[in-house]
Structure formats: structure tokens, C-alpha cells
């Protein structure tokens, strides 16, 4: 949302930065914003033109790049220089897509490896990230032209099934296009938001989002509670969409006209014209009973009834996916309270009716299905801009959360990228006899040593009743609630003594900070491992010294003189090793002390068991 202010120093008008929502689609992409006046989400478009920008990129011979409708025309005339469906390649290797190689009419480098794919155009190579960045650049330029203000920040949507690599690739594409990607959100989450679902924090709901686009189909089952969108399951077919419906119509017309595939292969222009007519027929049949047109003087017609017959198998396939998604989520159709329709192809009445029939309820289709995802992204952008403070949508933890343990080590309880809400607990114990309290220090970050991570909070668990070291059982629990707020609790289980503290882990961390912390953890991984190993060795050595001391205090009388002397020497050597930065030396001295004490420890143990068994018959 834009707020206009006046710069006191210069007296000029200042506009606060606009954060836009972007649906980066396989077939079409578009941008939406929250209208500064009406506060409603609206898609951006020039007068009398569509908001949809076809996700097609054409590379001209002289080096310039065309994106959108103008590029689409080159799909036929210059297929090798015209890229479509780049989204399907995001985060993929050649091996991932080789089964569908025929689908792509441009050159994908077949290196037969698991490294990320590249597309060859002329003598240049492009990664899918670069290709997507061309689309994003075009969207950014259009938005700036319409809004007459710079657009540098965005929320971009991705399919719910996108993995970490694909999400990261999308983020990088944004960066390449000069866009600061504030958040990547799931398309079904965005679609729900556009319907106002999930905006009420007290609402809890199970919903299904059915998305049939140009070339892909996916169904997502979500649980929405307390402003958190949890994906329970996803299913679909990444090679099923509106294009298949067009093709079915083309096939039918070919049969009707007596044309052959050879005719069409020889005349690509005709094939493409036929395809465009088929799409036109399909769209018209979404609101009419009969399509009548012509091509090169020949009449072409199609009834709605015939069309439905042609596409029924495809629609049935999507319903099977819905069944599987429900099964994976462990739900029945009757559990689903709302069904949201997304994607241009859900305008087809047979699709709408079949989905409605399957779920046994009317579907939500009042928001334009081409625009619904972008509109939801704009709503999320507005929330991030701080204009809707009551709502904080967080779906995953960006960094690991844990506590400090002996030796300054980070013990992770909730790993990064955990879904929220999230819960974890682990037991710890004391190191000293009669230790009355324990300090719980909470950290965030990926490094092994807490000193390299970010401290979030610390508190003391006090009032632990006197017990020998190692006996208290202190359970530390982490709970991140739907608001992204972390509560850390500590409870000594034997006595019931308890303490807790609330921490806001997200607060004050920008995306750049998160990124640099992640980079640090990668560059320092080796150092960290060394430091951790040394820390662990020291802790182990200290523990062993303490237990040995305690043992001697109790049992010195039972030991031989040379046993006592050897033990004292071994302890001293270990003590000295602990002051040095050499984990191998520490381990050697630990082993030496164990060597010395093992014989008498076993002897005393046997005696104790014999004593305990006295008078008992087995």
C-alpha cells in the first residue's frame, strides 16, 4: 500500500515503497496490489488490455528479449528462440525432465546429469532462473509504468509442492530481476487469502484448493487455524491442463475434416491456427452451448456436449488426484468445509460441476480464477508492509532454534524450515551435585557454537531440590505458536519445578540477516566441527574427572595404594590436557584414566552386587 508523505528537507512528495504480489505462472503471470484508495486487492493492467502476461520469452536475433503476448507469436515462427513453461524447469536437472523432453520445442542441454538444466538459444545458455527473471523484469516494468513509482519489493507465489531448491530458484530469479522478494508463498495459500479465508485468527478450517491452469493441475488440502496455513497434502499432474483440452478439440477437428497429421506437420502455421481456434472454442463453451467459427474459409463447429465428451477423461483424472490427496491427508470429502477454484481452466462448466459433485458442496468461484493467486499475494504483501498488524502469516521457521549446552554448544530443538506451529522437547541434567538451578539460554542460527548464533533470551530454572549430578531430569520444551511466537519452558520432572519465557524469534531479523547467517554456517562448517569436537571432548573430560573424584571420596578405603597413585596421576594428566586445544590428547587421557579405574570399578561393582544378592534365592 502506498502512503504519500512530504520530505521536509526537500519539500517534495515522497511515496512509500509499494510491495506488489506476483503470480509467476507456468502459462500466465500477473501482478496485483492493494489499491491505496479502496484498500481492495486489484490486478494491474493497462487500459483495455488483459492483466495476464503470457509466460513466454522470445530472444531476437539482434539480442533483445521480448516477453508476453508479443513473444507468443514466435512460438510457431521461431520455436528455437522462444521459451515457454520455464517454470517447469525451475530447480530441475536434465534427468528430472528427460521423460518430457519432447514437450519442449526449444533446446534443453542434455548433459545426462543431475546438475541444473540449461536452455540453449543461439550461442547463449540460460538457466531457468535467468529465464524466469526475464518474466519478472517485464512484470516489474509494467507495474512501474502503471503505478508511476518504482517497484522493488514483492511477494511471489509458487506451487505448494515446490521444494526448497525450486523456492530458492524463484527467489533468485526475483533478485536477478532487481526485486527484493520479501516472501515466497504457496499458491493455494494466496488463493485462500483472496477469498478472505484465514484472515480471521479465530477461524479454523479444512479447505481444498483445486488449481487447473494451462499445463498443470494441482490439488492442495490445507488446514487453516489461527492465521497459519498448513499444507496437509498435495497431489496433481504437472503435465495436465488447459492445453490438453485444446489438443483434444484439435484432434477432433482433424478427424472431422479428413486432414492428416502429416498435413499439419507440413504446415505448422495451420496447426497453430487450429490450436488457437480450439482454445477460442473452449473458452466460448464455458458460457455458450455451441461454438461456430471458420478457418481459411472452412466452417468449424463444436457443441458443448461434444466438447465435454472429449475432455471427460482429463477431468476424471483430476478427480482421482483429489481422492488421493484426501487419502494422504487422512480426510473424507465431508471433512472439507470450503473448495476454492483456481486457474483459467476451472471456468469449464464440466470441471466446476465435477469438482462440486465430488466434494458434495458448491465451490468458491466468485473471484476471477486467473487472478485469484496474484490478488492473494497482494494481500500477503500488504500484511508484510505492516498494514494489517493483527495478522502475521508465518509458515516456516527461517533459522534453527535451540539452547546452549555444556561447552557452549548449540543444541537444536526446532530445525530451520520447520512448519509452524511447531513443538519440541528434550531432557537435560545437572553437572554438579546438589546444583540448585539451571540456566536456559535460547539461540537462533545454524552454527555449532552458540557464540556464533544469535541469542534470543535466557532465564534460570531455580529451586531444583538437592540431588546428585546427573539425577535431575530437566525437560526443556519449545513451542512456536500460530503467531510465530516461541515459548520456552523448563521443568524438572522429579520435583515438578517449572519456569517459562516467551520469545519472538522473527523480530528484527531481515531476510538479508537470515541469508548471511546461513552463508556463515556454510563457510564456517569446518571450523565449527573442530570447535564442537574440542568442546565435546572437554565436557567429557570434565565429567569423568568429577565422577572419578566422587567415586574416590566414597570408596578410597577399598582401593590398593598403587591404584590410588595411578588414578591421581591419570587425573592430573587429563586435567592438564583439558587446558590445551587438542581434542585427541584429551581423548587419549580420558582413555588412560578409564584404563586405570576400570579394574577396581568392576571389582567394587561385583562386590556390591554380591552384597545385594546375599540372602536372596534365585
What is the binding site for Mg ion (CB under 5 A)? 25, 213
475, 491 Cβ separation under 8 angstroms: yes
188 is an interface residue for ligand ADP by CB under 6 A: no
Please state the separation of Cα 34 from the chain's center in Å.
Answer: 24
CB of 242 to ligand ADP, least distance (A): 2
CB burial readout 164-185, b (16+ within 10 A) else e = eebbebbbbbbebbebebbbbb
Instruction: Using the rule CB under 6 A, give the single segment among 232-240, 241-249, 501-509, 584-592 that binds ligand ADP.
Output: 241-249
CB of 353 to ligand ADP, least distance (A): 14
> Which residue in 1, 21, 22, 27 binds ligand ADP (CB under 6 A)?
27
CB of 182 to ligand ADP, least distance (A): 22
- Sequence length of the chain is 618
Question: Residue for cell digits 494489517?
Answer: 388
| Apex 433 CA angle, 432 and 436, nearest 5 | 80
Report the SS3 class of residue 554: helix
Q: Which of 364, 311, 376 is nearest to 338 (CA)?
A: 364
Nearer to Mg ion, 22 or 517 (CB): 22
HEC secondary structure over 446-491 = CCCEHHHCEEEEEEEECCCCCCCCCCCCEEEEEEECCCCCEEEEEE
For residues 480 and 325, give the distance between their C-alpha atoms in angstroms, rounded to a whole number.
27
244 is an interface residue for ligand ADP by CB under 6 A: no
Residues 277-296 that bind ligand ADP (CB under 6 A): 279, 282-283, 286
* 211 tagged catalytic: yes
DSSP letter at 117? P
154, 180 Cβ separation under 8 angstroms: yes
CB of 2 to ligand ADP, least distance (A): 27
Q: How far apart are the first and last CA of the chain?
A: 81
DSSP letter at 228? E
Q: Which parts of 296-419 are beta strand (E)?
A: 298-303, 338-342, 401-405, 409-414
Nearer to ligand ADP, 375 or 418 (CB): 375
> Which residue in 133, 216, 354, 506 binds ligand ADP (CB under 6 A)?
216
Q: Which of 172, 187, 237, 382 is catalytic?
A: 187
215 is an interface residue for ligand ADP by CB under 6 A: yes
Contact map string, positions 445 to 474, toward ligand ADP, x by CB under 6 A: ------------------------------
Q: Which of 130, 138, 211, 279 is catalytic?
A: 211
CB of 329 to ligand ADP, least distance (A): 23
Nearer to ligand ADP, 283 or 454 (CB): 283
Residues 303-362 that bind ligand ADP (CB under 6 A): 343-345, 347-348
- Backbone φ, ψ for residue 513 (5° rounding): -65, -45
Instruction: Using the rule CB under 6 A, give the single segment among 90-98, 248-256, 275-283, 356-364 that binds ligand ADP.
Output: 275-283
- Quick one: which H or E segment has residue 427? strand 422-428
List the helix and strand counts (H, then E) for the chain.
16, 28
Nearer to ligand ADP, 54 or 472 (CB): 54
Nearer to Mg ion, 25 or 376 (CB): 25
Question: Residue for cell digits 471456468?
Answer: 347
- Backbone φ, ψ for residue 164 (5° rounding): -55, -45
CB of 422 to Mg ion, least distance (A): 29
- Backbone φ, ψ for residue 84 (5° rounding): -125, 165
Nearer to ligand ADP, 26 or 234 (CB): 26
For residues 606 and 412, give the distance between their C-alpha atoms in angstroms, rounded to a whole number.
40
Nearer to ligand ADP, 68 or 535 (CB): 68
- Backbone φ, ψ for residue 332 (5° rounding): -105, 165
CB of 369 to ligand ADP, least distance (A): 6
CB of 190 to ligand ADP, least distance (A): 12
Q: Which of 581, 552, 574, 572 is nearest to 564 (CA)?
A: 552
Nearer to ligand ADP, 214 or 472 (CB): 214
* 595 tagged catalytic: no
Residue 492's binding partner, choosing from Mg ion, ligand ADP, none, with beta-carbon cut-off 5 to 8 A by kind? none
For residues 482 and 198, give the distance between their C-alpha atoms in angstroms, rounded to a whole number.
12
Inter-axis angle of helices 561-578 and 525-555, to 10 degrees?
A: 150
The footprint of ligand ADP on this chain (CB under 6 A) covers a number of residues equal to 21
Question: Residue for cell digits 475432455?
Answer: 311
Distances from the Cα of 426 to the Cα of 458, 473, 491, 493, 503, angstroms: 17, 10, 11, 12, 18
DSSP letter at 16? P
CB burial readout 254-283, b (16+ within 10 A) else e = beeeebeeeebeeeeeebeebbebbbebbb
> Which residue in 128, 213, 227, 376 binds ligand ADP (CB under 6 A)?
213
Nearer to ligand ADP, 275 or 416 (CB): 275
Contact map string, positions 363 to 382, toward ligand ADP, x by CB under 6 A: -------x------------
Nearer to ligand ADP, 66 or 281 (CB): 281
Instruction: Using the rule CB under 6 A, give the single segment among 160-168, 237-245, 487-495, 518-526 that binds ligand ADP.
Output: 237-245
CB of 33 to ligand ADP, least distance (A): 19
Nearer to ligand ADP, 30 or 410 (CB): 30
Instruction: Using the rule CB under 6 A, give the single segment among 20-28, 66-74, 95-103, 503-511 that binds ligand ADP.
Output: 20-28
The DSSP bridge partners found for residue 28 are 54
> Which residue in 26, 132, 422, 453 binds ligand ADP (CB under 6 A)?
26
CB of 166 to Mg ion, least distance (A): 15
For residues 399 and 480, give the distance between their C-alpha atoms in angstroms, rounded to a whole number.
13
> Which residue in 236, 242, 376, 505 binds ligand ADP (CB under 6 A)?
242
Residue 380's binding partner, choosing from ligand ADP, Mg ion, none, with beta-carbon cut-off 5 to 8 A by kind? none
Instruction: Using the rule CB under 6 A, give the single segment among 60-68, 240-248, 357-365, 383-391 that binds ligand ADP.
Output: 240-248
CB of 351 to ligand ADP, least distance (A): 8
Rg (CA), the chain: 32
The residues assigned a catalytic role are 23, 87, 187, 211
| Chain positions contacting ligand ADP, by CB under 6 A | 25-28, 213-216, 241-243, 279, 282-283, 286, 343-345, 347-348, 370
Amino acid at each position: 500500500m502506498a502512503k504519500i508523505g512530504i520530505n521536509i528537507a526537500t519539500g517534495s512528495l515522497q511515496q512509500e515503497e509499494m510491495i506488489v504480489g506476483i503470480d509467476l505462472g507456468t502459462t500466465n503471470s500477473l501482478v496485483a496490489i492493494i489499491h491505496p484508495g479502496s484498500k481492495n486487492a486489484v490486478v494491474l493492467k493497462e487500459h483495455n488490455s488483459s492483466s495476464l502476461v503470457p509466460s513466454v520469452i522470445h530472444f531476437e536475433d539482434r539480442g533483445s528479449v521480448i516477453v508476453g503476448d508479443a513473444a507468443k507469436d514466435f512460438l510457431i515462427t521461431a520455436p528455437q528462440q522462444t521459451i515457454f513453461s520455464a517454470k517447469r524447469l525451475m530447480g530441475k536437472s536434465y534427468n528430472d525432465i528427460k521423460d518430457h523432453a519432447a514437450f519442449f520445442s526449444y533446446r534443453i542441454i542434455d548433459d545426462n546429469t543431475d546438475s541444473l538444466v540449461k536452455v540453449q538459444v543461439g550461442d547463449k545458455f540460460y538457466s531457468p532462473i535467468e529465464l524466469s527473471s526475464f518474466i519478472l523484469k517485464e512484470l516489474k516494468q509494467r507495474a512501474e509504468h502503471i503505478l508511476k513509482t518504482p517497484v522493488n519489493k514483492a511477494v511471489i507465489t509458487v506451487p505448494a509442492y515446490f521444494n526448497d531448491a525450486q523456492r530458492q530458484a524463484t527467489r533468485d530469479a526475483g533478485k536477478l530481476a532487481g526485486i527484493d522478494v520479501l516472501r515466497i508463498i504457496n499458491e493455494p495459500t494466496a488463493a485462500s487469502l483472496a477469498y478472505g479465508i484465514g484472515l480471521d485468527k479465530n477461524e479454523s478450517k479444512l479447505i481444498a484448493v483445486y488449481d487447473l491452469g494451462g499445463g498443470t493441475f494441482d490439488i492442495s488440502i490445507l488446514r487453516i487455524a489461527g492465521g497459519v496455513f498448513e499444507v496437509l497434502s498435495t497431489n496433481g499432474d504437472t503435465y495436465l491442463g488447459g492445453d490438453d483440452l485444446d489438443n483434444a478439440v484439435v484432434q477432433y477437428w482433424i478427424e472431422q475434416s479428413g486432414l492428416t497429421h502429416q498435413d499439419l506437420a507440413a504446415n505448422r502455421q495451420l496447426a497453430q491456427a487450429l490450436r488457437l481456434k480450439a482454445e477460442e472454442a473452449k473458452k466460448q463453451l464455458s458460457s455458450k452451448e455451441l461454438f461456430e467459427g471458420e478457418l481459411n474459409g472452412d466452417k468449424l463447429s463444436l457443441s458443448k456436449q461434444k466438447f465435454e465428451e472429449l475432455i471427460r477423461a482429463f477431468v476424471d483424472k483430476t478427480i482421482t488426484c483429489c481422492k488421493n490427496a484426501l487419502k494422504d491427508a487422512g480426510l473424507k470429502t465431508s471433512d472439507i468445509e470450503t473448495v476454492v477454484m483456481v486457474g483459467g481452466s476451472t471456468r469449464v462448466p464440466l470441471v466446476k460441476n465435477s469438482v462440486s459433485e465430488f466434494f458434495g458442496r458448491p465451490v468458491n468461484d466468485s473471484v476471477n480464477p486467473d487472478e485469484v493467486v496474484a490478488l492473494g499475494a497482494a494481500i500477503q504483501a500488504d500484511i508484510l508492509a505492516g498494514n494489517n498488524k493483527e495478522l502475521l502469516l508465518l509458515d516456516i521457521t527461517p533459522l534453527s532454534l535451540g539452547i546452549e549446552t555444556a561447552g557452549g554448544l548449540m543444541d537444536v530443538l526446532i530445525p530451520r524450515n520447520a512448519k509452524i506451529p511447531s513443538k519440541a522437547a528434550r531432557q537435560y541434567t545437572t553437572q554438579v551435585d546438589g546444583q540448585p538451578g539451571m540456566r536456559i539460554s535460547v539461540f537462533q542460527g545454524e552454527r555449532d557454537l552458540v557464540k556464533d548464533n544469535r541469542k534470543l533470551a535466557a532465564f534460570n530454572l531455580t529451586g531444583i531440590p538437592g540431588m546428585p549430578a546427573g539425577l535431575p531430569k530437566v525437560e526443556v520444551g519449545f513451542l512456536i505458536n500460530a503467531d510465530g511466537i516461541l515459548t520456552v519452558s523448563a521443568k524438572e520432572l522429579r520435583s515438578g519445578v517449572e519456569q517459562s519465557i516467551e520469545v519472538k524469534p522473527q523480530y528484527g531479523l531481515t531476510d538479508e540477516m537470515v541469508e548471511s547467517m546461513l552463508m556463515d554456517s556454510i563457510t564456517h562448517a569446518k571450523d565449527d566441527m573442530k570447535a564442537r569436537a574440542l568442546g565435546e571432548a572437554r565436557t567429557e573430560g570434565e565429567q569423568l574427572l568429577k565422577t572419578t573424584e566422587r567415586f574416590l571420596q566414597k570408596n578410597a578405603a577399598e582401593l590398593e595404594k598403587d591404584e590410588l597413585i595411578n588414578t591421581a596421576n591419570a587425573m592430573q594428566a587429563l586435567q592438564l590436557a583439558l587446558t590445551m586445544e587438542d581434542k585427541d590428547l584429551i581423548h587419549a587421557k580420558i582413555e588412560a584414566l578409564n584404563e586405570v579405574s576400570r579394574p577396581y570399578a568392576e571389582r567394587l561393582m561385583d562386590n556390591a552386587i554380591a552384597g545385594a544378592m546375599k540372602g536372596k534365592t534365585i
